[in-house]
Structure 1
């Protein structure tokens, strides 16, 4: 029996989330052994070369970018660089599940920011879901308590930069190939952190470290590819909830690789954030169906 587009998209989304979290585990395993800027630069070399070859094979290098889109591409580069710095800094000092749980607030921040910047309509139900989701984030961060760490703010900063990155992507013309944009942002990370690494000492890279850097690069390339492929199949309303499997991967890897397990309040906060995100997706799907139905019933 042939597999449906929705099921294919679900597998691709789960593959993307698994790839990103495994890459994060490789990077976290090297914390303290290799300076972060050097680590991002070395991974960036491998990632940029691989993405460049893929983009060339797909013909994406021949893309004609309108002048007005370069501003959005520049903002996306800033978002990607900021995300890499703040996310990895938090990851090196916090349990991987805690950092990943905070990142689950991204759909909420995207909806809220789009309402402010693009004047997207947000009803009271979705606004309530956003507020409840932020309560869940506060349960994870728990400012002012003994378990609070300043690196929680780094995770929140990463959420802000991801929001900037994704909204900048939304502003791009639809005919710009995704792999071209991916190549530009990957190269920007490589150059930025390569220059930054010159300000400090480099650590020696042995066989174990080299293998982990290669592993991190391979997995993040897989995440990029799956992310591009998932946008080409199935219905977004069906596929999008599978992004939350990334939290399951973070819990499993945190326990199996690093011996970490979140506090009960952190798990409760993560459940609230995920629940709010799923409700948002449900409402988006409902509103989308209503829009399509009204369009289909319109006299021709």
Structure 2
């Protein structure tokens, strides 16, 4: 008998633990897929326009998603009562992708992901006025420290900040707004519907620019990589959705930071990029601040501390 007055079921425990491990494995794979998408975009950016890569990324995403989820078998899969917010969310995702694909042409993958890790800080800061989820003093301190980490990576005023770094910051900001609008829709819209609607809206919006910039790929390898962009994105989002079905969000959240390993590894293997000391230091600051915010939110959700009290 546990202190709470109920018996612990060994059967339920045996089921829950493997599901959590599977959730962790899936979210790790999801962020590997997103890293593969960025690495592919960076590689293709050496010979193809970014607008074309973005267009194919979303167009092929739609095709893969429709086939993967068998949308024709899901009644009302694409039905929504909140189309203005759906479209706004989709445009934030498109903006994040466009800014990111331009940025990765000139920055190391480790640099872009270090800046992208600041998105949870923007979400936490804006969740107060937009969602009435106000951050306490300690989380605000973590947000400030996290942004200091971003400044260490970008190094404004020290010869490190350039227009590519600013594009990466814009990508991060758009992604944070995309995450916020996702939270606004999460309780009323289906995950599959949001996944496909965002890709369809983004495809329609970027199509004129993708066609205008179209450059025929020179060989089969380039065609394969171009078509794979949608697969990376779709499979990554599918793994992310499945991970959250199998394991609680507080368990999964810290594993988003495994992406720094995937991005650094792909950057070294594919582009021979070695992260510099400022990137490593800034990434460490950002990751530490992000983990502290996750720790605080977990304690608050459990009722262990008030939003403004405790460590």
Structure 2 distance, partners of 1:142, 1:173, is 36
Helix, strand or coil at the partner of 2:70: helix
Stretch of structure 1 that moved more, 31-40 or 11-20:
31-40
Structure 2 distance, partners of 1:208, 1:18, is 21
Work out whether residues 61 and 180 of structure 1, in 8 Å CA contact, stay in contact via their aligned partners in 2: no
Indicate which of 59, 63, 77 corresponds to 1:49. Answer: 63
Q: 1:32 to 1:257 in 2, by over 3 A?
A: closer
Structure 1 distance, partners of 2:230, 2:87, is 23
| Cα deviation code 1:211-241 (max 9, x no counterpart) | 2123333222210111111221212111110
Work out whether residues 110 and 279 of structure 2, in 8 Å CA contact, stay in contact via their aligned partners in 1: no
| Cα deviation code 1:24-71 (max 9, x no counterpart) | 11111111311111222223222111112234348445147453x112
Work out whether residues 26 and 240 of structure 2, in 8 Å CA contact, stay in contact via their aligned partners in 1: yes
Structure 2 distance, partners of 1:150, 1:63, is 40
1:115 and 2:128 aligned? yes
Give the C-alpha shift of residue 20 in structure 1.
0.6
Structure 1 distance, partners of 2:199, 2:218, is 22
Mapping of 1:200-211 within 5 angstroms? 200-211=213-224
Helix, strand or coil at the partner of 2:245: coil
Give the C-alpha shift of residue 204 in structure 1.
3.6
Structure 1 distance, partners of 2:280, 2:172, is 19
Give the C-alpha shift of residue 102 in structure 1.
0.4
Give the C-alpha shift of residue 291 in structure 1.
7.0
Work out whether residues 128 and 134 of structure 2, in 8 Å CA contact, stay in contact via their aligned partners in 1: yes
Structure 2 distance, partners of 1:35, 1:99, is 19
Helix, strand or coil at the partner of 2:157: coil
RMSD: 2.1
Give the C-alpha shift of residue 205 in structure 1.
4.2
Mapping of 1:10-49 within 5 angstroms? 10-49=24-63
TM-score (norm 1): 0.91
The aligned residue for residue 103 of structure 1 is 116
Q: 1:78 to 1:124 in 2, by over 3 A?
A: same
The aligned residue for residue 19 of structure 2 is 5
Stretch of structure 1 that moved more, 192-201 or 265-274:
192-201
Q: 1:271 to 1:58 in 2, by over 3 A?
A: farther
Give the C-alpha shift of residue 201 in structure 1.
4.9
Indicate which of 83, 87, 90 corresponds to 1:74. Answer: 87
| Gaps in structure 1 of 5+ consecutive residues | 293-300
- Once superposed, which parts of structure 1, at least 4 consecutive aligned residues long, lie more than 6 Å away? none
| Gaps in structure 2 of 5+ consecutive residues | 1-13, 306-311
Indicate which of 160, 167, 176 corresponds to 2:189. Answer: 176
Give the C-alpha shift of residue 266 in structure 1.
1.5
The aligned residue for residue 276 of structure 2 is 263
The aligned residue for residue 9 of structure 2 is none
1:163 and 2:176 aligned? yes
TM-score (norm 2): 0.88
Q: 1:143 to 1:60 in 2, by over 3 A?
A: farther
Q: 1:66 to 1:81 in 2, by over 3 A?
A: closer
Structure 2 distance, partners of 1:164, 1:95, is 24
Stretch of structure 1 that moved more, 133-142 or 4-13:
4-13
The aligned residue for residue 8 of structure 2 is none
Q: 1:141 to 1:60 in 2, by over 3 A?
A: farther
Work out whether residues 79 and 193 of structure 2, in 8 Å CA contact, stay in contact via their aligned partners in 1: no
Give the C-alpha shift of residue 90 in structure 1.
0.6
| Cα deviation code 1:228-279 (max 9, x no counterpart) | 1122121211111000001111111111110111221211111000000000
